[in-house]
Amino acid sequence: MAISTYTELKASIANWLNRSDLSDEIADDFIKLTEADFNAKLRIRQMEQIDTITIDSETETVPTGFISVRSFYLLLSSVKYPLEYITPHNLFEIRGGSRSGRPRSYTIEADNETEQFRFGPSPDTTYTGYLSYYKNIEALGSSNATNYILDKHPGIYLYGSLYHAANFLGGMDPQQVQSFLQMYIAAMERCENNDRQDSYGGAPVAQRTDVQTDLSFYRNR
């Protein structure tokens, strides 16, 4: 059975488990657990995102779906000023009360379950930050029938959901549960390997000449 949509995925999960009584809500849970898995483990090009962030206060909310930073810098007069990640404790130590200026460092902290960037020094004017980061793959649902993972690597969704279902439902042959897990791991490894091959397929890398990097950031560390 071909699996190219959210509905087909749920039908395939029920077929593999031979469970006609499997409700949509329960199948949704297995799919969501699988999505949480691969968002935590996979780092592929389709998860890469570049945004500009207006930095005009000490804190700014992270983008929706944010996982982790790849690079973060300010661009002033065609010169890149990298922002260095430091721990919340260290940022607190170097902030020096009400000191303000061009931000040089940032950390990530939670504010009432909302993640946010905190900058040091606090910006003395409005800056534009260029943020390259990993973002969650868009979740499947009634309003989103497919995504990159389901389209190109449906085995990740299928075997991941079957593995989580087997642990939830119980009564299944332990060897079958282990088989689901191994197929799940293999599907994610294929996805990562394919991404690496596509990323380094021999195409030339163009280097920009109109932007310079402020190397003092590295020399003074």
**What are the tens digits of pLDDT across the range 95-139?**
655 678 999 999 999 877 889 999 999 999 999 999 999 999 999
pTM of the model: 0.84
The number of distinct structural domains making up the chain is 2
Based on the domain organization, do 33 and 72 belong to the same domain? no
Residue 201, domain member (yes or no) = no
The pair of structure tokens assigned to 8 is 């087909």
Q: Is the pLDDT of residue 82 over 90?
A: yes
Do 16 and 93 belong to one domain?
Answer: no
Domain span holding position 93: 45-135
> In degrees rounded to 5, what are phi and psi of residue 130?
-110, 115
State yes or no: pLDDT of 161 exceeds 90: yes
In a domain, 208, yes or no: no
> In terms of domains, do 75 and 178 share one?
no
Pair (36, 111) in one structural domain: no
Tokens of residue 30, six digits: 């297995």
| pLDDT one-digit tens code per residue, 9-59 | 999 999 999 887 777 788 899 999 999 999 999 999 999 999 999 999 999
Are residues 141 and 131 part of one domain? no
The pLDDT value given to residue 187 = 97
* Residue 202 forms part of a structural domain: no
Strands in the chain per DSSP E: 48-55, 59-61, 66-76, 79-82, 84-85, 100-101, 105-111, 114-120, 122-123, 127-135, 212-213
The answer to whether position 61 is within a domain reads yes
Co-location of 161 and 102 in the same domain: no
Q: Averaged over 179-202, what is the pLDDT? A: 91
Provide the b/e sequence for 57-82 (b: ≥16 CB within 10 Å).
ebebebeeebbebeebbbeeeeebbb
Single-letter amino acid code for the residue at 85: Y
**Average pLDDT for the chain:** 89
Note the pLDDT of residue 209: 54
